[in-house]
A and B are shown apart, each in its own frame.
Chain A
Amino acid sequence: MSERKIRVLVAKPGLDGHDRGAKVVARALRDAGMEVIYTGLRQTPEMIAEAALQEDVDVVGISILSGAHMALVPRILELLQANRQAGVKVFIGGIIPDEDVPRLKALGVTGIYGPGASTDTIVSEIRTALESGAAPRP
C-alpha cells in the first residue's frame, strides 16, 4: 500500500506570460516528494477550479504577477467552494502589495509569497497547513 502523496495544482491565471516562478516552485515541490500538476499559462479561474476538481488536489498554488489578484483569487475561491472543495488550501506567489495580504487571508488564502521567498519555506508551510487542517474528506 502506498502512502498518500500530496497533490498540488500549480496554476497561472490571467494574462501575464511570466511563468519562471511557477516552474521553480513546481520543481521544488517535486523535489520535496509532492505530485505537481502544472497547467500552463493564461488559465481562467474556471479552468483552474475544473483542474483542481478532476485532479483531486490538496493544494492549489496560484502565481500572479499582473496585479489582478483581487479579481482572480476571490473567483477561484468561490468556484472551489461551489465544487465542494472548500477544504483545498490555496497559496499565492507573485507580486502582492502588502495591503492586499490581510484581505486575501480573510478570504481564505493560506499562504502568500513574494519575490525572494525561499522554496523551503513554501514546502514546509504547505506540509504544516495540510497536517493541521487536512482537507475534510466526507
Chain B
Amino acid sequence: MSLAASVLEGDTLAISRLLTEVENDSPTGRHALDELFAHTGKAHLVGVTGAPGTGKSSLVNRLALHTRQRKSPAPARVAIVAVDPSSPFSGGAVLGDRVRMRDLAGDRGVFIRSMATRGSLGGLARATAAMTQVFDAAGFELVLIETVGAGQAEVDIARLAHTTLVVEAPGFGDDIQAIKAGILEIADILVVNKADLPGAENSERALRGMLDLAHPGKRTFQHHGQVMHAGGEADENPETWIPPILRTVATEGTGVPALVEAITAHGAHLRQSGEWGRRERLRLEAEIEALLSAALMEDLHHRVTDARYAAVLDQVAQRAISPQEAVQGFLRQTKARR
C-alpha cells in the first residue's frame, strides 16, 4: 500500500513518516502530496500566534482538550502543528511546545507534531502549509497551527489559516503597540490570556481602542459607567467580521469554551460570507507562488555553474557590475540556453 493510501486510512505511523518526508521536501513527500491533494479542503485551519511567553502552547492545549471533551457538536479530531525556531548557527532546535500539551496524551483523536522553522522568517516553516494538508487529508477536522513566538511582522499565519488568533498577555506593551501595523491587523479573534494577572483590563482596553479605530460605528463603549452607542450602524457592512476580544486563563481553562465558540462562529461567518473560498484561493495562490519561485531558483542553479556564479559574485564585489545587472545577466544566460 502506498504511503498516501495508508495516510487516508488514518495509520498514525504512515502519517508521521509522511510528515517527515514532506518536511524534508523529498520526492516521496511530493508525490504523496499530489495524491492526497484531492482529499484536502475540509479541515478548519486555526492559527495561534503572539509574542513568546503569552501562553500560546497552553492555550492550544486547552482548545484541543475542550474540542475533544465537548458533548455537542460531536468532538472533532484535532491535529496540532507547533513551530519553534531553528538555531541560525547550528541549524538545530529545541522544540518544547509539547511540554504544555501533556493533557492531550493518550487520546488517539489528537496528533501533535513539532517542527522547526529551518531558516524561514515569517513565523512558520516552509513546509508548514504542506503538513497541514497531510492532516487535512487524514481526516483531522480541526488543525491548530502554533507559530513561533512572534514579534510584529511574522504574519505568514494569516495567509495559511482560515481563522487567526492573536494572543496577548498583560504587560506586553501600551496602546502605541496596539496601533502599529502588523500582527494585530491579522487577528480574526484577539485573546488576552493570563487574564488573572493585573493589567488585563488595560490590555483589553488598548485592543478595544484599536478596534474602534478600525471599525467606527456599531460599537458600544462605556463612558463614566454608562453604556453609550456611537456612530451610525448603517455605514457598517453587516458582513464585516469585527474581531472579538476574549479573556482567558489557559492554565485553568477559564474562557476557553467561549473561545472555541468564537472560532466556530468565525468559521461559519467565513462560509456564509463567501470569504472561506476567497481565503482558500489566496492561500493556494501563495502556495503556488512559493513553490514556483523555489522551482525557478532550483532550475537557475542547475543552469548556471558554480564557477560562473562565483565569477559574477566577484564582479559585483569589485563593484564592476551592480547586483541588478548580475541578475539580468543570469536571466539572459538561462534564456539563451533554452
Q: Which residues of A are interface residues toward B (Cβ below 8 A)?
A: 1-5, 7, 26-27, 29-40, 43-44, 46-47, 50-51, 53-56, 83-85, 137
Minimum Cβ distance to chain A for residue B246 (Å): 27
| B289 contacts A by Cβ under 8 Å | no
A29 with B92: CB separation less than 8 A: yes
Additional 4 contacts, C-beta under 8 A, given A3-B24, A35-B93? A36-B95, A39-B98, A55-B114, A84-B13
Q: How far is the CA of A100 from the CA of B120 in the complex (A)?
A: 45
Minimum Cβ distance to chain A for residue B139 (Å): 16
B-chain residues with CB within 8 Å of residue A29 when the two chains form the complex: 92
B94 with A36: CB separation less than 8 A: yes
B-chain residues with CB within 8 Å of residue A85 when the two chains form the complex: 13
Question: Assuming A46-B106, A50-B105, A85-B13, is B92 touching A38 (CB within 8 A)?
Answer: no
| B20 contacts A by Cβ under 8 Å | yes
Residue of A nearest to B30 (CB): A1
Residue of A nearest to B96 (CB): A38
What sequence of 0s and 1s flags, for each residue 12-49 of chain B, a beta carbon within 8 Å of any chain A beta carbon?
11001101100011100000000000000000000000
8 Å CB contact of B99 from A2, A27, A31, A40: A40
Q: What 8 A-B pairs come out closest when comparing CB atoms?
A: A40-B99, A30-B92, A56-B16, A47-B105, A33-B92, A56-B20, A33-B91, A33-B90
Question: Assuming A35-B95, A47-B106, is B17 touching A56 (CB within 8 A)?
Answer: yes
Q: How far is the CA of A5 from the CA of B125 in the complex (A)?
A: 14
8 Å CB contact of B24 from A4, A31, A43, A47: A4
8 Å CB contact of B94 from A38, A46, A55: A38
A-chain residues with CB within 8 Å of residue B89 when the two chains form the complex: 31
| A-B CB contact pairs (8 Å), 19 listed | A5-B24, A5-B92, A7-B20, A30-B90, A30-B94, A31-B90, A32-B92, A33-B92, A36-B92, A36-B94, A37-B95, A39-B98, A39-B102, A40-B98, A43-B102, A51-B98, A51-B112, A55-B114, A85-B13
Q: How far is the CA of A47 from the CA of B99 in the complex (A)?
A: 11
| B111 contacts A by Cβ under 8 Å | yes
Chain B contributes a number of interface residues (CB within 8 A of A) equal to 30
B-chain residues with CB within 8 Å of residue A7 when the two chains form the complex: 20
Task: Label chain B's interface by main secondary structure.
Answer: mixed
A-chain residues with CB within 8 Å of residue B91 when the two chains form the complex: 5, 33
B-chain residues with CB within 8 Å of residue A2 when the two chains form the complex: 24-25, 118
Among B19, B92, B93, B111: residue with most chain A CB under 10 A: B92
8 Å CB contact of A36 from B93, B102, B105, B106: B93
Q: How far is the CA of A31 from the CA of B89 in the complex (A)?
A: 8
- Residues of chain B in range 48-92 having any CB-CB distance to chain A below 8 Å: 86-87, 89-92
B95 with A54: CB separation less than 8 A: no
A54 with B116: CB separation less than 8 A: no
B-chain residues with CB within 8 Å of residue A31 when the two chains form the complex: 87, 89-90, 92
8 Å CB contact of B17 from A40, A43, A137: A137
Q: How far is the CA of A30 from the CA of B89 in the complex (A)?
A: 10
A-chain residues with CB within 8 Å of residue B92 when the two chains form the complex: 5, 29-36
B16 with A53: CB separation less than 8 A: yes
A40 with B102: CB separation less than 8 A: yes
| B113 contacts A by Cβ under 8 Å | yes
Question: Assuming A1-B26, A53-B13, is B95 touching A38 (CB within 8 A)?
Answer: yes
Among A5, A34, A35: residue with most chain B CB under 10 A: A35
Minimum Cβ distance to chain B for residue A117 (Å): 19
Q: How far is the CA of A14 from the CA of B40 in the complex (A)?
A: 40
Among A3, A5, A38, A54: residue with most chain B CB under 10 A: A54
A-chain residues with CB within 8 Å of residue B94 when the two chains form the complex: 26-27, 30, 36, 38
